Structure 1
Amino acid sequence: MRVINFNAGPAGLPLPALERAKEELLDFKGSGMSIMEHSHRGKQYDAVHEETISLLTELLGIPDTHQVLFLTGGASQQFAQLPMNFLRPGESADYLMTGVWSEKAYDEAKLVGQARIAATAVQPDKKYVRVPRQDEFQLDPKAVYVHLTSNNTIYGTQWHTWPEVGDVPLVADMSSDFMWKPVDVSRFAFIYAGAQKNLGPSGVLIAVVRKDFIARGRQDIPKIFRYSTHADSNSLYNTPPTLAIYLCRNVLSWAKELGGLTQLEKRNREKGELLYGTLDKLSGFYRAPVEKDSRSYMNAVFYLPTPELDDAFVAAATRSGMVGLKGYRSAGGIRASLYNAVSPDDVRTLVSFMEEFARKNG
Structure 2
Amino acid sequence: MDDDVAQPDAKSTPADRGERLYNFSAGPAALPEETLLEAKEELPVYDHAGASVMEISHRSAAYDKIEEAAREHIKSLLDIGDEWNVLFLQGGASMQFYQAPLNFLSEDGSADYIITGRWGTKAIREARLVGDVNVAASTEDDDFTHVPDPADWDLNPEADYVYLTTNETVNGNQITQDPVLDAPIVADASSEFLSRPMDLDGYGLIFAGAQKNVGPAGVTIVLVHDDFLEQKKDGLPTMLDYGTHVRKRFNTPPIFPIYMVEKVTRWLLNIGGLDAIHAVNKRKARKLYDRIEQSDFYYCTVDEGSRSMMNVTFRLQDADLEDLFLKQAEQHGLMDLAGHRTVGGVRASIYNAMPEEGVDALIQFMDEFEQAHR
Task: Give a deviation string over 1:3-25, Cα, whole Å, max 9, x none.
Answer: 00000001011101101110000
2:359 aligned partner? 347
Match of 1:33 among 27, 51, 69: 51
Alignment of 1:259-270 (within 5 A): 259-270=272-283
Distance 1:162 1:150 in 2: 9
Name the aligned partner's letter for residue 187 of structure 1: G
Structure 1 residue 315 corresponds to structure 2 residue 327 = yes
2:293 aligned partner? 280
1:271 aligned partner? 284
* SS of residue matched to 2:63: helix
2:172 aligned partner? 156
Return the offset for 1:208.
1.2
Percent pairwise identity = 42
Name the aligned partner's letter for residue 95 of structure 1: Y
Aligned residue pairs: how many? 356
Distance 1:334 1:303 in 2: 6
1:248 aligned partner? 261
Task: Give a deviation string over 1:67-101, Cα, whole Å, max 9, x none.
Answer: 11111101000000111111122110000010010
Match of 2:191 among 155, 163, 176: 176
Name the aligned partner's letter for residue 240 of structure 1: P
1:193 aligned partner? 208
Structure 1 residue 138 corresponds to structure 2 residue 151 = no
1:204 aligned partner? 219
Distance 2:267 2:355 in 1: 13
Return the offset for 1:218.
1.3
Match of 1:100 among 118, 137, 142: 118
Q: Does the Cα contact within 8 Å between 2:180 and 2:203 map onto a contact in 1?
A: no
Return the offset for 1:164.
4.3
- Please report the TM-score for the alignment, with normalisation by the length of structure 2: 0.93
Task: Give a deviation string over 1:128-159, Cα, whole Å, max 9, x none.
Answer: 10001123211011100000000011110000
Q: Does the Cα contact within 8 Å between 2:204 and 2:228 map onto a contact in 1?
A: yes
- Please report the TM-score for the alignment, with normalisation by the length of structure 1: 0.97
Task: Give a deviation string over 1:246-276, Cα, whole Å, max 9, x none.
Answer: 0111111111111111110000001001100
Return the offset for 1:32.
1.9
* SS of residue matched to 1:287: strand
**Runs of 4+ deviating beyond 3 Å:** none
When the two chains are superposed, the root-mean-square deviation of aligned CA atoms in Å is 1.0
* SS of residue matched to 2:305: helix
Match of 1:301 among 293, 313, 323: 313
5+ residue gaps, structure 2: 1-18
Task: Give a deviation string over 1:173-206, Cα, whole Å, max 9, x none.
Answer: 0000001111112321101000000000000000
5+ residue gaps, structure 1: none
* SS of residue matched to 2:48: coil
Return the offset for 1:306.
2.8
Distance 1:263 1:135 in 2: 31
